[in-house]
Structure 1
Amino acid sequence: MFKKLLLVLCSFLFTVSAFANDITGTWQQIDDKTGAAKAIITIEKESNNTFTGKIIKITPRPGYTPQRTCNKCPAPYTNQPILGMEIIRGLKQVDNSKNYAKGRIIDPLSGKIYDAKIRLNGTGKRLTIRASIGVSVLGRNQTWIRQD
């Protein structure tokens, strides 16, 4: 009985630790300027071990009419619908840690593409996205909250 309990506990701890380092899943994007929920993003791991993120829902906000297409975006995003848009590309995990880097993220409202770094918090429930052009110090942070 004790061995079975120990095996179950070890399995649970392994699952929790694997989950705590994994950014795949569904995330609520929080606007860094207003603190309001913006969109639901799903992050997936690709076969080449990079991560991509796609908008699967735009969160309605009172008094705000969401933009439907990426009007100011460069190719291949030009006039693409924002719902379903892949906004994160090429993100790679750094040495099996909670850090992810070398990705690109697009802001579909401004059309700007940024270098992206992501840090997963200790519980695996929050992401801090650092978006910058060139020097990371001049960028901005955004927090996303795990939904699944």
Structure 2
Amino acid sequence: MKNILRTMTLAGMGFLALAAQANSPVGRWHTIDDKTGETKSVVTIEDAGGVLRGKVSQILRKGADPAAKCDKCADDRKGQTILGMEIIRGVKKSAGNEYWEGGEILDPEEGKLYRVRLTPVEGGAKLQVRGFLGPFWRNQLWVKAP
């Protein structure tokens, strides 16, 4: 009987962890160009002690150079290869809200840094990515990658 209860408890904890992850930006995401609708890349978002970071783990855009560098970047990523680059930094869960914010996202094609808000939508199947630059913002809707 103890083994059954223990197994049920562990299974319940696993279910809760999966449910929490479904409403979290953590995972692999197909980035979708907000102007063309084209799938551009896969970004993998990880949790490092409550702080999210995201790296370009795959480039999917047709004809894209996998060795392309961020020549327009103005920070420590200048000249780095975009593939493998950390483009999301310092994002934390917003207390009492369903979104993560407080960090930044880099558009490596333009070299622009935006304040970022990440909001899982549609049960975690999509991720609303909103980048803020002053009073202006830019939205993208990313799709969960298999």
The normalised TM-score by structure 1 is 0.83
Equivalent residue number for residue 142 of structure 1: 140
Paired residues of 1:88 and 1:103 also in contact (CA < 8 A): yes
Equivalent residue number for residue 76 of structure 1: 76
* 3-state DSSP of counterpart to 2:123: coil
5+ long unaligned stretches in structure 1? none
Paired residues of 1:21 and 1:97 also in contact (CA < 8 A): no
Aligned length: 139
* 3-state DSSP of counterpart to 1:123: helix
Higher mean Cα deviation, 64-73 or 98-107?
A: 64-73
5+ long unaligned stretches in structure 2? none
**Equivalents in 2 of 1:11, 1:102: separation in Å?**
29
Instruction: Report deviation, 1:147.
Output: 1.2
Equivalent residue number for residue 118 of structure 2: 118
Equivalent residue number for residue 29 of structure 1: 31
**Equivalents in 2 of 1:126, 1:65: separation in Å?**
24
Instruction: Report deviation, 1:65.
Output: 3.6
Distance change >3 Å, CA 32–CA 10, structure 1 → 2: same
Instruction: Report deviation, 1:60.
Output: 3.1
Equivalent residue number for residue 39 of structure 1: 41
Deviation per residue, 1:112-133 (Å, 9 max, x gap): 1000011111411110000011
Equivalent residue number for residue 58 of structure 1: 59
Paired residues of 1:98 and 1:121 also in contact (CA < 8 A): no
Equivalent residue number for residue 130 of structure 2: 130
**Equivalents in 2 of 1:96, 1:26: separation in Å?**
25
Equivalent residue number for residue 109 of structure 1: 109
The normalised TM-score by structure 2 is 0.84
